[in-house]
Chains A and B, each alone.
Chain A
Amino acid sequence: MSATKQVQPILHKKSLLVSNIVTIILLVLFLLLELLVDLVLKPVYSQTGLVVAGVIMALIPAILWIGFFYRQDRLEPEPKGMVLQVFVLGALVAAGIGIPLVNNVFKTTTWIYRDWWVHLLGGILVIGFTQEFLKYAVVRFSIYNASEFNERIDGIIYSTAAGLGYATMLSITFVAGSGGVDLGMGAVRVVLTALAQASFSGITGYFLGREKLDKKGAWWTPFGVCLAAVLNGLFFFLESTLSAPRLTATGSTVNPYFGLVLAAVLAVAVTAILSWLIERDYKSGLGPQEE
């Protein structure tokens, strides 16, 4: 028995590393495929076709990413139906509350870029807190009290699902609203959004999972949501500053790859930290708990 116990974490670590690498390779392949289709076929879409393409483009990175975290939940995998429900709920709150609040009530595009400090503070206070609170609320007021939520990693899985649902709706809105964005550029943006939203949600999810299972105090999860909101705002600031259009002698150019690199670094860092925390929990014998 003890030999099995010693072998299992090593095997798991290997499989985790492989699944992590496979996920990143698949995301890169997805990007390359989109760029290739865009360069070779140069497709022209109708408005409906654009929405369909946007949905497909937004869903692929979401599925890849959630699959990565799902594979880590080896002790008691969550019901796929419930993960899907939380994903859909994340998309619905984005469409019904988050996007209209940021775009129509706060009208961020009309003032947020006026000064660097407005850009940074607005990113944290308006965009960061709106998105992170809504994604938190999706998990907290749906699955949190269910008996299926019985491992620390469940917080990460469900929050990531909510974040990816939110990201999918943001990407669909972007693709549909762009009125014919080129597919390659759109793919970069879609992957970037999915990586970033999944990472921030993962942070909140970790705090939520420990709040429920370890009976943490009343300021534990609020700290997690604030941390996620600040990182979200900081990411928004850096990404839009680095990817801002630059004037050249022949016109203006946009380089979305800076943002993509930033999102990738953030996603890898957050994923590594969360994976380490999950491993630490498993090593200390914190398995599923009976409700």
Chain B
Amino acid sequence: MATGSTPLKRRALAPDILSAINISGITLIALMLGLILMQAAMNQSRSLTRAGVTANIPSGWILRQGVAQEELIYSASDPTSPYLKYSVSLVPAVPGGTVMDSVPPVNLNRGRALNAYKVLAQTPAVARGKDTFKVDFAYVQTNDSTSLPVVVRGVDYYFAEGDQVLLITLEEESGLFNAALPGFLRFVESVRYAPGGVK
């Protein structure tokens, strides 16, 4: 019966060691589920329609609707991030012009209203399955006298919509801008425009 080798004996782990392994495993599973929950919560949104513009706004964000005289349709701000904001506006198209012709007036108005407003780049792009014009910009936000000024970065997407131009904008503190971009691009993809809506 001698086989020339000793059979390997499996030693059972002590219950307290097994218990520690079980707790570590359970905690790991709980944290993984927490991560999935976090992703689900951050991707949660609600649909909003105003002036013919429908979009999926992240749930829990603070909504501001534009008044009759404003080009702004609505903006949504993250209550947990003081500078993160999505805006949707309808600006009049320049008769006989292209989408690009709507960019200078918007930049001019912002240059008057915002501190150190600067256009960083203007490039053609594709979004919502359409050709668009993309403008990257930055400005300085000065708050109260006790805190330092903050550089805010932004990006505009201009879409031709008949005699109107649909302008979708992201603004966020420069250090957090890149992290905010994927969520904003999902928001841009969710925007639908049907002319004739009431503000």
Contacts A110-B81, A225-B26: A115 and B44 contacting too (C-beta < 8 A)?
yes
Would A112 and B31 count as touching, CB distance under 8 A?
Answer: no
CA distance A130 to B60 in the complex (A): 25
A217 and B15 contact, Cβ closer than 8 Å, known pairs A111-B41, A122-B37, A126-B31: yes
Enumerate chain B residues within 8 angstroms of A104, measured Cβ to Cβ: none
List residues of chain A with CB within 8 A of the CB of B122. none
Q: Decide if A121 touches B37 in the complex (CB within 8 Å).
A: yes
Contact status A222-B26, CB under 8 Å: yes
Report yes or no: A129 in contact with B31, Cβ–Cβ below 8 A.
Answer: yes
Q: Mark B15-46, 1 if CB is under 8 A from A, else 0.
A: 11011101110110011011101101110100
- Smallest CB separation, A2 vs chain B (Å): 37
Closest to A101 in B: B31
- Picked from B23, B33, B59, B60, the residue with its CB within 8 Å of the CB of A225 is B23
The yes or no answer to A136 lying at the interface (CB within 8 A) is yes
A114:B31 contact, CB within 8 angstroms: no
Contact B34 A219 (CB under 8 A): no
User: Which of B23, B34, B41 lies in contact with A221, CB distance below 8 A?
Assistant: B23
* A contact patch SS: helix
Question: What residues of B have a CB within 8 angstroms of the CB of A114 in the complex?
Answer: 41, 44, 59-60
Q: How large is the interface on A (under 10, 10 to 19, 20 to 34, 35 or more residues)?
A: 35 or more
**In the bound complex, CA of A122 to CA of B26 (Å):** 15
How far apart are the CA atoms of A111 and B16 in the complex, in Å? 37
Which of A106, A122, A129, A221 touches B27 (beta carbons < 8 Å)?
A129
Q: Quick check: is B78 within 8 A (CB to CB) of the other chain?
A: yes
Closest-by-CB residue of B relative to A102 is B34
Interface presence of B80 (CB below 8 A): yes
Task: Mark interface residues in B50-82 (1 if CB within 8 Å of A CB, else 0).
Answer: 000000000110000000000000000010110
Of the candidate stretches A23-31, A34-42, A208-216, the one touching chain B is A208-216
Known A-B contacts A115-B44, A125-B37; the reply to A133 vs B23 at CB < 8 A is yes
Residues on B with beta carbons closer than 8 Å to the beta carbon of A130: 27, 31
CB distance B19 to A220 under 8 Å?
yes
User: Does A109 belong to the interface (CB within 8 Å)?
Assistant: yes
24 contacts between A and B (CB under 8 A): A106-B35, A107-B38, A110-B78, A114-B59, A115-B41, A115-B59, A115-B60, A118-B41, A118-B44, A122-B34, A125-B37, A126-B34, A126-B37, A128-B30, A136-B23, A218-B18, A218-B22, A219-B19, A221-B19, A221-B23, A222-B19, A222-B22, A222-B26, A225-B27
Other than the known A122-B38, A129-B30, A218-B19, what 8 A-B pairs have Cβ atoms closer than 8 Å?
A: A106-B34, A106-B38, A113-B60, A118-B40, A121-B37, A211-B16, A219-B22, A225-B26
